[in-house]
Structure formats: C-alpha cells, structure tokens
Structure 1
Amino acid sequence: MKRILLLARSAATGAALREMEALRDQATSLPDVADALFAFAEEGSPSLRSAIETLIATPEPVLIVPILVPVEPSFLLGVKRSLQRWQGGDSRPWPEIRIAPPFSRQAPMRELLAIVIDTAEAETTAVEKVEAPPPLEGSVVPAQRRRVLVCQGGPCIRAGAETIWGHLRNEQKRLSLRTSGEGTMSAKTSCLGPCSLAPVLQVWPEGTYYGGVDEAGIDRIVEEHLLRGDIVEDLAYLPTGTKQRLRG
C-alpha cells in the first residue's frame, strides 16, 4: 500500500483548494493507496513542510506526485533540495521519499487528452465577443513602505526558492504584514544577481541582500527587519565589488 502526497505549486483561492481536495479523495479511493494528502510548494495551506511533518510520523514510504504540467526540472530539484535540507536538520528517522515523474511523461496522458477533447462539447466555456470593458474607476497606490523581492532565477529555484517564497507568503498572511509595522508587500523577481548566495531575497527600501535563506531565516527577517527595522546582519550580504560565497 502506498502513501501519496499530491504536490501543486500554489493556491490563492478556495476553488483551487477544493480542486486539490477532490483529487486527494480520488487518490484515496484507489485500491493500492493507503493514504493520500496534498500540499502546495509555494503559497497555500497545507504547505509542503507541514504535509511532510505529518507523513514522517510513520515509517511507510511516501510518493510525491507533482500535479503540474509542464514541470520545470529546476522545480523538482528545488523540492528535492528542500526535503534534503529539512531532513538534514531533523534528528528523527524519515521514511523513504520518492518523487514521481511529471504527468506529461506518463503513457496514459494520451488517453486522458482524448477524454478531455471528446467530452469538451458538453462542458466547454464559450468565449463570446464582448464590447471593450469600461475603464477602471481608479486604484489606490499602496501605502506599504517595505518590499521583499524573492529571486526566481535558476540557481535560486534549484536551491529551494519556491518553498522559501511559499513560507514568506504564508507568514505574510498569518501575521498581516501588509498592515503591520511599516507595511510589507512581496513579489517574485527574475535573477537578483548574486547566484552563489542562492536562495536570495532583497528587502527594500534599504536594498539589503539576504543569502542562503531558509524558513528559519525568513522568520528572523520578518521579526527583526520587517517588523522592527533591524537588518539581520549574519544573513545579510553587502556589495563589496568582489565575488562572495555563502558564509559558514
């Protein structure tokens, strides 16, 4: 019997959560599945970390099934390295964890596409011509003073930046960071530059670079920098004009 973890990228709405719940229920009903959970690698609850905490409580092997099409190889590598990092810092025994290949590589994918196409006539949503939408009345310029940019360049993704982003976003929601302190907004960004320090994020308005950040580092940056205005010196890297590597 298998224990399955269905892994999606993120969920910002209740509809996405309900869709994953339905997939979990379908997986649970399969004859060779003992248990099925779902999680989100980025923003959303349950997070990948919390689902793993549940699954390592028992010794049976775990199969992670990415619910993504397409799947960037860097995404899977980032998930793997996050798991290795969490396991390396945990004294408890972990069960064997494997990651399934992407859906697009599976032989039944052709049959699934055929079913979708054959049944499309009854369930498709028609795209009708409409007049140009009315102009927006206006938008409020955000008052938040702080911005956190989380690098999504290749080296950072491979170092687990997507799980770091997810932890930041979940903490931002939990702690109401938009309205706490000076107010904080966050965004993904393309390469921030210092790839050797991956995963990298930058906090404005100071422009402070943080490198090698994990979930505990995010917690410190939130508490000390975003809420109190104190730079976390042992995680920060200043421009020196010379190449730098992660300390320690």
Structure 2
Amino acid sequence: MSQAIYARVLFIGPGLSRGVSAERLRQRVEALLGEAHLHDSDQGADSFWQAVNEAPRPLLVVDLEPRADAAHRDWLREQIATRTDGASVFVVCTALEDAWLDGLATVLERVESHTPCSDVPAVPAHHAWSQIPPHAQRLLLCNGPRCTRQGALGLWKTLRQRLKAAGKLECEGGVHITRSQCQFPCDLGPTASLYPQGEWYGIRDEAAVIRLVDERLVAGKALPELRIDQQGG
C-alpha cells in the first residue's frame, strides 16, 4: 500500500473543497491512507505549494485536473522542481470520476506510472511556433464537454480539411482556426464564433461545416440560418 511507498500523498484538482464527489474522494482516501490532503485548485494554488514544501518525502502528487495530459503533467513537474527537490516528488495525473474511486488503490500503488519531478524535458522550440499565422479571419470552434459530446472533434477535422482544400487555411486573406474550451451556448452547438465579425454559428453536422466554409468563409455570403446570435438562429 502507498503508506509504505510515500510519506504523504497530496491531491489537487478543481472542486475538491465542496460537493458530493469531493466528499467521496475524501472518505476513500482516508480509508486507504488514514488521512486526506485535498487541495482545491479553484481556490488558488498558494496552499498547495505550501503543502508541497512542507510535506515529508517521498511525496506523491495526484493531479485530478480533468483535462490533464502529458504537457500539463510536465508543466506541473517543472513547477515542483523549481520549488523543491524534484527527485523525491512524484506526479500522477488522472480524472476524478465516481467509478475511478474504486480503483484508487491501484492508481496509488502503480509506481511505474508515477513520474519523478526531475529531468523534466524542456519545451521544444521551433521557428513556426514563434510566428502569428497569417490570416484575415479567426474561427473558434468549441471543444468543450457538451460540444465534444455532440461531435465537435469530427467537425474540427472536416473544417480543417475543407479550408485547406480551398486554399484558405492560415494564409494571407485566409482563416486561422482554433479549438476553444466551452463558449457557453452548449444547447445550440457545436458552436463556432467568427472574428473580427463577432458572428456565432451552430454547426450541428458535417453539412453545416461545409456550408460555413464554402459559403461564408470562402465566398463571403451571409448564412443567417446557421447564426445563433440572431433571432431565429
């Protein structure tokens, strides 16, 4: 069990100071470890960094950020390494779900998945990543949870392919496209907002994406029937 592996386990993630899920996590951690050290990232990071600095070693940090990936994990490792001896602190990222709680013991015991906060690779640099892509318009396609559930990822691929085929993808006079987090009118989505015009569109299927590209972004025609920021949109 992790008590024998780590002197302490810290959990950080959104909403860990309130709600049913946070209470279930607290109870489960206390049952496994005898104590629970939970830090709500929505409340700021000061208390978390203080806890990291004061915790006995070796230390395991369990990051419950829902959208944590390898890049986020390495950022967290780097931040820890700049504040303390990273070799004695380990990080594992996972999403907090009710079903996951049953496997919490396994997550804590799988030391091969715990990454030390030392020898963190540097952020790769490339000339293209230091330049603003040429464009005349910018389209933000929502990839928040609800829009993703309604097929936004597949629509993103169609959007990119269609613009590229039309010679309008991130070029002079073209369109710079970006996937965004939640844009809020989820029930009307997947949503896309176009700038500098400030127009909002609901693109529910591939046919709508094709019309948006061909008629609005390439031909410059109005598409009032796809607008969600106008009456009847």
More helix by share: 2
TM-score (norm 2): 0.43
TM-score (norm 1): 0.41
Structure of higher CA gyration radius: 2
